[in-house]
């Protein structure tokens, strides 16, 4: 945890997305008092938890909603396989999150139709219990043409974005839509977290070295086409 906090300070990162199973030790089995201490430690270090990412088994665990409430951050559930997460499982979990004043976010890709289907499920749950977490993969998706459509489909339910790449990988993402993504998010008034993560485990060593040096956080948008978005006075 100390290494994470030091890396955030060096790179100007304002928060941390924790992932179940990583070496920080945070999980649904941890006592709430210990989770509270973790939260205080990270907030005092200037990098509060912005999300806790886990599998469906973790997100639907009886203690998951309490973990979200104690950490003060949503749980992000990543689908396993291509079939996604059943709507009835999400709607069954929603009351527990509502009761704790917590939130469960469903991770999704850059296909607007899929986002629209998830939004319809979310709107059948208690208000504020469920939301959306967009996982952007510039290497796999042609995102430029989909950004506006994804934002429209998600509407006010988009609460978290995870960008696969950036950091030491940012040079590889020039021309893949990161600049347009940042511009569209600004125009849409998105004010939620934007988490950076390695695109594949093979980049972990590069990320470790990058986090060990000072500098900016590097989203890969510096070389974006400046003519893409027109800002007019209206």
Q: How confident is the model at residue 4 (pLDDT cuts 50, 70, 90)?
A: confident
Cβ neighbours of residue 142 under 8 Å, at least 6 residues apart? Answer: 177
- DSSP annotation of 216 reads -
Return the percentage of the chain with pLDDT > 90, whole number. Answer: 64
Q: Rounded to whole angstroms, what are the CA distances from 102 to 6, 95, 223?
A: 28, 10, 38
Nearest-angstrom CA–CA distance, 164 and 210: 15
Q: What is the pTM of this model?
A: 0.89
Domains in the chain and their CATH numbers? Answer: 2-211 (3.20.20.150)
Q: Using one digit for the tens of pLDDT, what is the confidence trace for 71-92?
A: 999 999 998 766 789 999 999 9
Q: Which residues pair with 158 in a beta bridge?
A: 132
Provide CB contacts within 8 A for 37, sequence distance 6+: none
Please, what is the angle between helix 147-154 and helix 112-122, to 10°? Answer: 10
């Amino acid at each position: 945890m100390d290494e994470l906090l030091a890396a955030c300070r060096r790179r100007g990162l304002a928060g941390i997305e924790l992932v179940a199973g990583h070496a920080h030790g945070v999980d649904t089995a941890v006592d709430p008092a210990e989770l509270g201490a973790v939260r205080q430690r990270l907030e005092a270090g200037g990098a509060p938890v912005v999300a806790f990412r886990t599998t469906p088994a973790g997100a639907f665990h009886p203690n998951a909603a309490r973990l979200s409430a104690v950490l003060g951050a949503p749980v992000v559930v990543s689908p396993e396989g291509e079939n996604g997460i059943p709507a009835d499982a999400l709607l069954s979990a929603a009351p527990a999150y509502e009761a704790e004043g917590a939130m469960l976010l469903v991770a999704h890709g850059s296909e607007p139709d899929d986002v629209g289907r998830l939004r319809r499920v979310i709107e059948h749950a208690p208000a504020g219990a469920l939301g959306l977490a967009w996982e952007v993969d510039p290497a796999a998706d042609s995102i430029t043409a989909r950004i506006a459509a994804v934002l429209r489909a998600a509407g006010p339910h988009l609460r978290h974005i995870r960008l696969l790449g950036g950091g030491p990988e940012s040079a590889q993402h020039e021309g893949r839509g990161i600049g347009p993504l940042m511009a569209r998010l600004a125009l849409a008034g998105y004010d939620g977290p934007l988490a950076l993560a390695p695109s594949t485990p093979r980049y972990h060593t590069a990320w470790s070295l990058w986090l060990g040096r000072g500098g900016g956080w590097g989203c890969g948008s510096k070389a974006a086409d400046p003519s893409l978005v027109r800002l007019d006075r209206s």
